[in-house]
Amino acid sequence: MKRFYLTSFLVSALIPCIWAQVWAPIGAKWTYGTISTTTGTISYTEWISASDTVLNNFSYYRIERQGHAIDGDYSDHFFTREDDNIIWVYNDSSGTFSKLFDFSKTNGDWWTTEFGGCYFEMKVLDTRLDTLQGISSKSMKIEYRGLDTTKTPGIMWANRLVGGMERPLPQFDYHCNNVVPDNEAYTGIRCYQDTAVGLWKMDTTLSCDYATVGIEDISYGDEPVIYPNPFRDEFVLILSGHSEHQVTVSDVTGHVIRQVEIKGPINRIVVEGPSGLYFIQVRNLGSNEGFKDRIFKMIKL
């Protein structure tokens, strides 16, 4: 089954171990995938190094969000700088600086990050060198957790983030007790771009700015809404009420791939099969309730 892998904002693999590249130069852009956790709708948002400024006698880059807001975003901007292999982030509320990433650390080392009034312990599990556009970069596998929560730590290595936190920076959704949003979330970084490395696409052959819910997104009043998602092995079916329904998934030859009975307003249904066109029949099993059946179609890539 296809799965999304979450990635860390300002990914470590973009940071040259020799620090020849300017950190977050003006114009640098990070494109993140987003997903609605209720409908499965896929979209994107961008974070761009928009300008520089001076804060407490230090030069900082202002990183701004351009695109729709994501639940859990701490703000639509923040300030960051690089100094002696350390990436610092500026805390607006306290006027203080905090380590975001410390690339001077090695295996077993740790540091504490403070952001938005909460604190996080970052421990380096291992390091390695990656190459991006001919530039050698140091990447770190990091275990981190909020100091005020018992949530399972997340794991970040190279340019991937997986595990308990389940959210990448810049969302900082692991700030303040790991509050998890219930509507939209980041799925991970798709692309990074600046004048030094050019365009770097992470684990995707698709365009950086694709946004889709599939071939059809149909609503029939009080009847069901289906959100096919061509980039996952599942689709979301939203029903009105709690009556029982039978869902049948077939390929173009009419062969039934899966048939399930469901009850409830929001349902995620897995489609196991190769890429291609699929037909989905939704049948209301209640004899006196509205429609009898409806057929949708979707593309799975």
4-48 confidence digits (pLDDT tens) = 222 333 333 333 333 334 677 889 888 877 766 666 667 788 888
DSSP label of 14: G
Are residue 45 and residue 190 in the same domain, yes or no? yes
Give the CATH number of the domain where residue 288 resides: 2.60.40.2550
pLDDT at position 295: 61
In a domain, 207, yes or no: no
In a domain, 40, yes or no: yes
Are residue 188 and residue 229 in the same domain, yes or no? no
In a domain, 2, yes or no: no
- From the number of C-beta atoms within 10 Å of its C-beta (0-12, 13-18, 19+), residue 283 rates as middle
pLDDT at position 146: 58
**What is d(CA 91, CA 26) in angstroms, rounded to the nearest whole number?**
20
Q: Which residue has the tokens 């018992």?
A: 150
Are residue 135 and residue 265 in the same domain, yes or no? no
pLDDT of 169 over the 50 cut: no
In a domain, 278, yes or no: yes
- Over residues 42-55, the mean pLDDT reads 86
Are residue 161 and residue 293 in the same domain, yes or no? no
pLDDT at position 115: 65
Question: Does the model's pTM come out above 0.85?
Answer: no
pLDDT at position 280: 80
**What is d(CA 200, CA 184) in angstroms, rounded to the nearest whole number?**
25
How confident is the model over 124-142, as pLDDT tens digits? Answer: 777 776 666 666 666 666 6
Are residue 179 and residue 234 in the same domain, yes or no? no
Are residue 80 and residue 189 in the same domain, yes or no? yes
Please indicate whether residue 69 or residue 260 has the higher confidence score (pLDDT).
Answer: 260
Are residue 135 and residue 280 in the same domain, yes or no? no
User: Of 13-27, 112-126, 162-176, 253-267, which range is least confident?
Assistant: 162-176
- Over residues 193-210, the mean pLDDT reads 73
Are residue 41 and residue 170 in the same domain, yes or no? yes
Are residue 159 and residue 191 in the same domain, yes or no? yes
Averaged confidence pLDDT in the chain: 66
User: How many domains does the chain contain in total?
Assistant: 2
pLDDT at position 121: 76
262 vs 37, 92, 99, 277, 280, CA distance in Å? 19, 48, 48, 23, 14
**What is d(CA 200, CA 176) in angstroms, rounded to the nearest whole number?**
32
Are residue 81 and residue 185 in the same domain, yes or no? yes
In a domain, 65, yes or no: yes
Are residue 61 and residue 134 in the same domain, yes or no? yes
Please indicate whether residue 231 or residue 172 has the higher confidence score (pLDDT).
Answer: 231
In a domain, 179, yes or no: yes
In a domain, 285, yes or no: yes
30 vs 4, 10, 139, 158, 202, CA distance in Å? 17, 8, 17, 16, 11
**What is d(CA 268, CA 270) in angstroms, rounded to the nearest whole number?**
7
In a domain, 208, yes or no: no
List the Cα angle 186/145/7 in 5-degree steps: 30
Residue-number span of the structural domain to which 293 is assigned = 225-300
pLDDT band at 203 (very low <50, low <70, confident <90, very high): low
pLDDT at position 270: 80
pLDDT at position 139: 67
Are residue 130 and residue 187 in the same domain, yes or no? yes
